[in-house]
Chain A
Amino acid sequence: MKDITELTVHELVEKLNNKEITAEQITKAYADRINEKEKDVQAFITITADEALEKAKKIDGEIKDNKNIFAGIPIGIKDNLCTKGVKTTCASKMLENFVAPYDATVVEKINEEKMISLGKLNMDEFAMGSSTENSAMKITHNPWNLNKVPGGSSGGSAAAVAADMVPWALGSDTGGSIREPASFCGVVGLKPTYGLISRYGLVAFASSLDQVGPITKDVTDCAMLLNIIAGHDEKDSTSANIPKVDYTKSLKNGVKNLKIGVPKEFFGEGINPEVKAKLEEAINIYKEMGAEVEECSLDVAKYALATYYIIACAEASSNLGRFDGIRYGYRTKNYTNLKELYRNSRSEGFGAEVKRRIILGTYVLSSGYYDAYYKKAQQVRTFVKREFEKNLSKYDVLLTPVSPTTAFDIGAKSNNPLEMYLADICTVSINIAGVPAISIPCGVDIEGMPIGMQLIGNRFAEETILNAAFAFEQKINFRQNYRPEFKK
């Protein structure tokens, strides 16, 4: 029999509800696994395994009603989602001791299911980065090769799922922060449609782009976690009031006659030949399964990265204005007047990348530059959206790489912000357009590092991309064929 921590959540749920295992056994298995692997992977900022075990015992003692099939299932939470009574640091010195007095809506939802949090997961500071190296707390290591980055910004979440330290996790995605680490760590990550999931309690980075989403071992788990967290929330005015869907229902529809567009711009310059080759194999698999695959064009994609960094930084500079050392968070000891208190608290509390983006954002919003940068970026945004709409009226799904390369070495790009930004080139346009996209593993490179495939769908067409991802997953059985080796 497989170890408990190797099971997917849908396998765990079945065993738990058949009373083959108890919540305590599951939580204990994960606590032991964290004990064993955390020294190598460094995925957690806060571990709550002891509290988790207490909760698990309590849940085992209660008579289960059928309503809570997830009662006793553990989960990991990215450290930018507020959890009442447990620190929410955003991997920043600014919030290193911050304890929110409330739960994020998605955290409330997992608590209602009586799921059990194993702790808070590492990330790039305030979700700004693509490698989790911008964390002020620690560097997370990729479970497939410990010398490589796990991707970012949800690097702790993806690494913990890949290393079987949590059965699934919550992440957030502003420009690729769920999909890129999922791709680098060989797991499944979904950036849902903007508005599908409440952002209440997600510490804001760029509000018009941020979205919470699942990081899981397989597509079925992804659909199940989406079922739990999706839905309208009156506390988030941008959350959509649409009918509830059971995302697990449509998984077995197959891909016969599914129309797949392959935007050629995503396969051009800068893409690693091994990544390209694996995606071409994936395209052939879809063709064999009966999908209609066609090359298409998303010409605006080349403007998306510049547009993204203008909009995201502008919104960040506004969102991070609240961290002034007065009401919460880090306060400098070094001040003689109010202005110094503000300035020194921010100078000492924020890391280099966060400061870089606040400065960039303040610059593009300043009078004299607003029209040239921010206004222009908003116009290009509309243009990008229209191009996506045009393509997605013709195709059910668009297929692209998640990142031009596989996971890179720790330290390789940390001194070159521009090169780091290029890691997001295939993912940012999706956030700009507000559409959903999933990252699933489609093979490994010559070093054994996972390669990710991105499937993009129309607004609120999560069912379509989950179904397409599921069909592919069944065909290649990535998890059965490849496992992380913790190479040193």
Chain B
Amino acid sequence: MAREDYEVVIGLEVHAELSTKTKIFCSCPTKFGGMPNTQTCPICMAMPGTLPVLNEKVV
């Protein structure tokens, strides 16, 4: 394909670190440096049956 046949499509995925004590959809801590698999729960894992609850501080 020639250069002029390409159409430019730009998408931005913005990663903003939350300044909250807990995650956005559950009550797991956001502390840095913990042991692997200690700051997770069925909600973070999107386990069947779980429901997210929005962190009030984020809104």
> Which residue numbers of A lie inside 8 Å of B, CB to CB?
80-82, 88, 90, 95, 98, 100-102, 104, 199-204, 234-237, 322-323, 327-329
Contacts and interface: CB of A to CB of B under 8 A. Distances in A.
A235 to B, nearest CB: 6
A90 B48 contact: yes
A202 B49 CA distance: 5
Contacts of A327: 45-46
Nearest to A320: B48
Contact of B53 (A81, A100, A237, A329): A237
Contacts of B47: 82, 100-102, 328
Contacts of A80: 49
B48 A203 contact: yes
Interface of B: 42, 45-51, 53-54
A483 B32 CA distance: 63
Contacts of B42: 100-102
A95 B47 CA distance: 11
Nearest to A233: B51
Given A98-B48, A100-B48, 6 more contacts: A82-B49, A102-B42, A200-B50, A235-B53, A322-B48, A323-B48
Contacts, number: 48
Given A100-B42, A101-B42, A102-B42, A203 B49 contact: yes
Nearest to B54: A237
Of the candidates B45, B46, B47, B53, the one having the most CB atoms from chain A within 10 angstroms of its own CB is B47
Contacts of B54: 237
B45 A100 contact: no
Closest 8 CB pairs of A and B: A201-B49, A82-B49, A203-B48, A203-B49, A102-B42, A322-B46, A200-B51, A236-B51
A204 B46 contact: no
Nearest to B53: A237
Contacts of A322: 46, 48
Given A100-B42, A101-B42, A102-B42, A88 B53 contact: no
Nearest to B42: A102
Given A100-B42, A102-B42, A235 B51 contact: yes
B48 to A, nearest CB: 4
A81 B48 CA distance: 9
A390 B3 CA distance: 63
A123 to B, nearest CB: 14
Contacts of A95: 48
Contacts of A81: 49
B41 to A, nearest CB: 8
Nearest to B48: A203
B49 A200 contact: yes
A178 to B, nearest CB: 18
Contacts of B45: 327-328
A322 B45 CA distance: 10
A200 B50 CA distance: 6
30 contacts: A80-B49, A82-B47, A82-B49, A88-B49, A90-B48, A95-B48, A100-B42, A100-B47, A102-B42, A102-B47, A104-B49, A199-B51, A200-B49, A200-B50, A201-B50, A202-B49, A203-B48, A204-B48, A204-B51, A235-B51, A236-B51, A237-B51, A237-B53, A237-B54, A322-B48, A327-B45, A327-B46, A328-B45, A328-B48, A329-B48
A2 B51 CA distance: 44
A2 B12 CA distance: 70
A328 B50 CA distance: 14
B47 to A, nearest CB: 6
A202 B53 CA distance: 15
A202 B47 CA distance: 11
A13 B4 CA distance: 80
Of the candidates B42, B48, B49, the one having the most CB atoms from chain A within 10 angstroms of its own CB is B48
Contact of B48 (A88, A199, A237): A88
Contacts of B53: 234-235, 237
Contacts of B48: 82, 88, 90, 95, 98, 100, 203-204, 322-323, 328-329
A203 B51 CA distance: 10
A338 B59 CA distance: 35
Nearest to B26: A235
A80 B42 CA distance: 16
Contacts of B51: 199-200, 204, 235-237
A386 B40 CA distance: 42
Nearest to A204: B49
Contacts of A98: 48
